[in-house]
């Protein structure tokens, strides 16, 4: 059985959050969240300003940022998301707040997109060097 | 012309939203839709069309659309409308009501969407707001882009706030909601024509449930 880490209500994090276990966030996170192999839950007190990339993402709190999931994104009734969703499966409850776009991405598409993003990031210093 | 306003009865609530409500509540009803089917057919040749939904958020509708290859943008403009409080002054006092706040503009690039679903959003707007929204929609719709709107014509027993669920391309469920009332306006045919004067009408049909479905298309160039 996998472990689930919890970031409690009084915790505030700024920066990049990565890991190899399931995570529940009930605190505040600003930055980037990468849990590619694991499930992420944003609790009812969670307040996130970050782009999220995880296996599944369940939102019952507040998120501002783009959400990418390999399997599923779910916004429950109390959830609030301002940002774009890319996932093979999306479930949005009536009563939830959502403003953004939804695109159904297959796993292979997401992998390609990620590779493309990584290549762009890798090549950025060279471009800057070329400019200078 | 002073628009007719309708304050839905407080008993217009659904058990699905408010199971403790003891009064009689209308249950969801299923009605045909001609223009949604037509819109979907007209978009069928376009790879991953961009569709903006301005109506009340419906998760199942989003799933339904993305499963059919759409990229769906959600910007629920109905839920953000505030119920209008009763005027503190009597009509005899002669004081004018303050004008309604302008709508927040649709913050999207020009000519971006292949289609826009408005459902019955226009019913909740006053003339000026409706005109602003119509102009904004014309701006963000691609040339030949499509735009679907519903208008209630039932003067005697207008529907409560509704959520529209797509059951099939040609079938919608109208779900009555347990919400504070928002004034609902009943348009004249002439007003609808004026509202869409910058568009070409694909089809405008009057349903047995006294809703008018209007499908219009942006002009090219």
Tell me if A48 is assigned to some domain: yes
Instruction: Output A35 or B1, whichever has higher pLDDT.
Output: A35
ipTM of the complex in this document? 0.79
CB within 8 Å of B2: residues ≥ 6 apart = none
Share of chain B above pLDDT 90, in %: 54
Query: Between chains, do B73 and A93 touch, taking CB under 8 Å as contact?
Result: no
Tell me if A47 is assigned to some domain: yes
Tell me if A38 is assigned to some domain: yes
* Domain total in chain B: 1
Mean pLDDT of A40-59: 98
Tell me if A27 is assigned to some domain: yes
Tell me if B179 is assigned to some domain: yes
Answer whether A99 touches B (CB < 8 Å): yes
The maximal CA–CA distance of chain B, rounded, in angstroms, is 59
* Domain total in chain A: 1
CB within 8 Å of B62: residues ≥ 6 apart = A90, A92, A102, B53, B72, B74
Mean pLDDT of A29-44: 97
Mean pLDDT of A47-51: 98
Count the residues in chain B: 221
Give pLDDT, residue A116. 62
Tell me if A43 is assigned to some domain: yes
Render pLDDT for B61-100 as a digit per residue (tens, 0 to 9).
999 999 999 999 999 998 877 665 555 554 555 556 666 6
**SS3 label, residue B77:** coil
Range of B131's domain? 4-78+106-218
Tell me if B134 is assigned to some domain: yes
* Dihedral, B79, A60, B71, B134 alpha carbons, nearest 10: 10
Q: Are B75 and B53 in contact (CB under 8 A)?
A: yes
According to DSSP, the residues that pair with A41 across neighbouring strands are A24, A58
Partner-chain residue, chosen from A93, A99, A100, that has the shortest CB–CB distance to B59: A93
Answer whether A100 touches B (CB < 8 Å): yes
Q: What share of chain A is helix, strand, coil (3-state, %, to 5)?
A: 20, 55, 25
Range of A77's domain? 4-105
Mean pLDDT of A117-121: 55
* CATH number for position B10: 3.40.50.150
Tell me if B98 is assigned to some domain: no
Which of A7-21, A60-74, B120-134 has the lowest average pLDDT?
B120-134
Tell me if B96 is assigned to some domain: no
Tell me if A115 is assigned to some domain: no
CB pairs under 8 A between A and B: 46
Tell me if B90 is assigned to some domain: no
Task: pLDDT band for B43, please (50, 70, 90 cuts).
Answer: very high
Mean pLDDT of A50-62: 98
Mean pLDDT of B32-37: 94
């Amino acid at each position: 059985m996998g472990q689930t880490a919890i970031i409690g209500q009084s915790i505030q994090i700024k920066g990049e959050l990565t890991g190899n276990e399931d995570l529940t966030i009930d605190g505040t996170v600003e930055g980037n969240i990468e849990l590619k192999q694991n499930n992420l839950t944003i609790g009812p007190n969670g307040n996130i300003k970050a782009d999220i990339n995880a296996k599944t993402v369940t939102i019952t709190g507040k998120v501002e940022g783009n959400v990418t999931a390999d399997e599923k994104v779910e916004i429950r009734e109390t959830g609030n998301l301002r940002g774009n969703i890319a996932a093979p499966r999306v479930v949005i409850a009536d009563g939830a707040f959502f403003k953004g776009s939804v695109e159904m991405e297959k796993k292979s598409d997401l992998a390609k997109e990620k590779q493309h993003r990584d290549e762009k990031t890798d090549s950025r210093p060279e471009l800057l060097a070329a400019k200078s | 012309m002073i628009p007719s306003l309708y304050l839905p009865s407080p008993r217009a609530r659904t058990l699905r939203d408010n199971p403790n409500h003891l009064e009689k509540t209308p249950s969801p009803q299923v009605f045909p839709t001609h223009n949604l089917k037509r819109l979907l057919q007209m978009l069928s040749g376009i790879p991953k069309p961009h569709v903006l939904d301005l109506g009340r958020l419906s998760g199942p509708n989003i799933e339904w659309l993305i499963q059919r290859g759409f990229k769906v943008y959600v910007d629920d403009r109905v839920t953000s409308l505030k119920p209008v409080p009763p005027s503190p002054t009597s009509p005899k006092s002669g004081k004018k009501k303050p004008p309604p706040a302008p709508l927040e503009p649709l913050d999207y690039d020009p000519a971006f969407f292949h289609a826009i679903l408005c459902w019955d959003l226009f019913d909740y707007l006053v003339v000026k707001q409706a005109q602003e929204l119509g102009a904004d929609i014309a701006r963000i719709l691609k040339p030949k882009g499509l735009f679907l709107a519903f208008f209630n014509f039932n003067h005697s027993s207008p529907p409560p706030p509704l959520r529209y669920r797509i059951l099939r391309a040609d079938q919608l469920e109208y779900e009555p909601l347990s919400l504070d009332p928002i004034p609902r306006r009943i348009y004249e045919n002439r007003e609808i024509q004026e509202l869409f004067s910058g568009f070409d009408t694909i089809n405008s049909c009057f349903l047995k449930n006294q809703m008018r479905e209007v499908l219009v298309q942006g002009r090219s160039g």
